Amino acid sequence: MLYNEQKGKPVPCIYGCAVTGDVWKFLKLEKSKITLDTENYYLVELPKVLGILPQILNSFLV
């Protein structure tokens, strides 16, 4: 985030995903605040996992 601010292209937040084999976790960093989705998403629920990714991308288009 700091790099982008220095280049004059600030970003409001950064999204992340941690994957441990078949378990997915999502998080968001806004300034110094981290929001962790407490729900576990499993690979067998692939449509649900893939449904989260467009929501993240759409948040940048608003």
Q: Report how far residue 4's alpha carbon sits from residue 22's, in angstroms, rounded to the nearest whole number.
A: 32
pLDDT higher than threshold 70 for residue 51: yes
Q: Domain ranges in the chain?
A: 2-61
DSSP for 3-62? HHHHTT---S-EEEEEEETTEEEEEEEETTEEEE--S-EEGGGHHHHHHHHHHHHHHHH-
Regarding pTM above 0.75, the answer is no
pLDDT tens readout for residues 7-33? 777 778 889 999 998 999 999 999 889
